[in-house]
Chain A
Amino acid sequence: MTRRAVIAGIGHTDFGRLPDRSAFDLEVEASKRAIEDAGLGRQDVDGLITDPGPAQGILDGITPHYLALGQYLGIDPAYTGSDILGGASSAAIIQRAVLAVEAGLCSVCLCVYGDSALSTPGSFGYGRGDDAAFGLFGAVGIHALAAQRHMHLWGTRPEQLAEVAIAARQHAARTPHAQKREPLTLAQYMAAEYVVEPLRRPDCCLMSDGAAAVVVTTADRAADLRQAPIEILGHGQANRLSTWSSPEHFDTLPAARCGPETFARAGMSPDDIDLAMLYDCFTIVVLMQLEDYGFCKKGEAGSFVEGGRIGPLGSLPVNTSGGLLAEGYGGGMLHVIEAVRQLRGTAGARQIDNAETALVSGHGLGMNTHSTLILGK
């Protein structure tokens, strides 16, 4: 009988400014919470895969992230590793856990993201190799280049980027643990300072200290556990490492490959998705994903999001806990956790009625990496 992987546990810490806590302290807490949520114990964990977050990577040049965390957790997993795909890492490590569990390499795989990006000097404002000589710093510059292209090619307006930022705050207002819960008006958005024009401050994600973890196990094992299992209906990954030399770079994301391929493997289409957790490091990336996943036609995402379509009462709620723009920077793992909560029906004041399927995406580096999960109950 084939082994089928499911999500059986979720856990996260507070998100925000937590200056007294190291990233590992936070990751240990998130790991314990996820294992407890599943109704499992430390002795059950035989897989550990980590997303080290922007500030960590290889810690001292020698010790990889999974080794340090595994040491703190005191576990000797059969299967381990860290994936460094930037913002695509969280969904990618869930994917890797699914593959490992279904292949029989491990049975209870803990997937952990954590960082103390607010309190520890990190890599958010880094220069990109030799491109720093021309002033290209931070992920914001790359994404502003994409936003300028979108505006040029498709006539996308700042008011349409604002719709994404405003919807994120509306979702966050219903999320008790969200970092930025106060509403954002269009007038406030338009008056906000540019960081890298055409992107303003509210177009950019938050920075956070925090950690989040997910437990992947077999459907058979999950049948006796504490939580109703969440099914993984499809998963995918696509990357464009050739960067500038690809003619499509800046005009589409690798999601344009990853999305259709994942839908095809799941035997589903965008019409089958009830809510979407789209990686939202910058508002423009939400618009590009809505197009590249086929929720609307290429170039039409600006008009698609108008009128609150991706807000709490819209026909396609996006990032129902506020996402990176308002909930907190959870690397992408908080997107997975929110999808699980919605599908379990435990999302509280922000619960979307009849949520049966959710798409979760990860997007990373200079728009080079992409990962997709389709979850169901």
Chain B
Amino acid sequence: MPPNDQIAYPLPHPTDFTKPFWDACQDQHLVVFACAGCEHLFLPGGSVCPKCWSTDLSVREVSGFGEVFSFVIYRRTYHPAIPAPYVVALIELKEGPRLISTVIGCAPEKVSIGMAVQIQFEAEDGFMLPRFTPQDSAPTHKV
């Protein structure tokens, strides 16, 4: 097996539905999808609002603040580009939508459910990923 730095990172594959989200990430903006019909905010993207099926949708930038809804610590490496231990977390954004991400900037053992976190973009192979850090330790978010 080649050394870790030669193995491609498992980057996202943007689709028509998710491209606006990932495009915004590349400019270090975190966005969700907003329904003009019922005001529902949601992730991931789609062609209709999953609450009311309205097609009147737009992309809205959010604060980047949220909290850990649940988290786990991978103790086994599944992909050589992401060596264990690391945290996978379900983040609930302040604005409501949830997304899978990770918590960095603290030891995995320091993460807890309800912990306040904020966005921190980091590049993998030149692709910006939205990760989260504990709110009190993070640098000020670029808005």
Contact = CB atoms under 8 A, between A and B. Distances in A.
A146 B131 CA distance: 21
Interface string B1-41: 00000000111110000100000000000000000000000
B8 to A, nearest CB: 12
Given A144-B72, A148-B72, A194-B73, A135 B79 contact: yes
Given A132-B79, A148-B113, A152-B113, A141 B13 contact: no
A194 B42 contact: no
Interface in B44-71: 44, 50, 69-71
A141 B70 CA distance: 11
A194 B79 CA distance: 17
B90 A133 contact: no
B72 A141 contact: yes
B124 to A, nearest CB: 7
Contacts of B86: 135
Interface string A126-165: 0111111111111001001110110010000000000000
Nearest to B131: A134
Contact of B82 (A129, A130, A135): A135
Q: Mostly helix, strand, loop or mixed at chain B's interface?
A: strand
A135 B101 CA distance: 8
A350 B132 CA distance: 50
B75 A195 contact: yes
A144 B70 CA distance: 9
A133 B72 contact: no
Contacts of B71: 145, 148
Interface string B119-135: 00000100001010000
A250 B88 contact: no
A294 interface: no
Given A145-B70, A148-B70, A196-B73, A134 B88 contact: yes
A125 B78 contact: yes
Given A130-B12, A135-B79, A195-B76, A245 B100 contact: no
B72 A196 contact: yes
A18 to B, nearest CB: 25
Contacts of B99: 244
Contacts of A152: 70, 113
Contact of A133 (B12, B43, B44, B70): B12
Interface in A307-335: none
A354 to B, nearest CB: 41
Contacts of B69: 149, 250
8 contacts: A127-B79, A129-B12, A133-B11, A134-B88, A135-B102, A152-B70, A196-B88, A245-B97
Given A133-B9, A137-B79, A149-B69, 9 more contacts: A133-B10, A133-B12, A135-B88, A136-B88, A137-B78, A145-B70, A145-B88, A194-B76, A244-B90
